[in-house]
Amino acid sequence: MNIVLFEPEIPANTGNIGRTCVATGTKLHLIEPLGFKINEKALKRAGLDYWDNLDVTVYDSYDDFLAKNPGAKIYMATTKALNVYSDVSYEPDCFIMFGKESAGIPEEILLRNKENSIRIPMIGDIRSLNLSNSAAIVLYEALRQNNFDHMRLQGQLHSHTWDEA
């Protein structure tokens, strides 16, 4: 799986998403301009000590991203979409793109990707969910559909065994 952040602005969100990517074996793709420096303290604090284990690529622009990932299946996560995120089938190597916190993915990009645009349902006039929460929601649905491939499905107790219960 691949998470793409189009011009992210808030380092804590990107750090949280980076941590989620490490925990799931997901690649992170960042499209510039970024609203922070990649070595910023807030970014690394949110990603904790996981940031060094993150598979991350930074691109100069959206066109640079497309050129370096030809033929990629890209789902555009946006509040403007017609399709619900849980109603599509995610391929194991797909890309899920999220826009910048203040504006989302530009509408000209969305218009070219109508069929692959997805949304998380919300009630009322809520503008959007937090970016890192949205990324986790959609990513885990995509991982669930792919049977959490390569992920540990059972946890372990530290001081006891489950057989004691």
Q: Which residues sit in the known binding site? A: 99, 120, 128
Contact between 31 and 7 (Cβ < 8 Å): yes
Torsion of CA 131, 94, 15, 134, to 10 degrees: 20
CB-based contacts of 144, cutoff 8 Å, min separation 6: none
What are the binding residues for S-adenosyl-L-methionine? Answer: 99, 120, 128
d(CA 120, CA 149) in angstroms, rounded, equals: 23
Give yes or no for a cis peptide into 70 (omega within 30° of 0). Answer: no
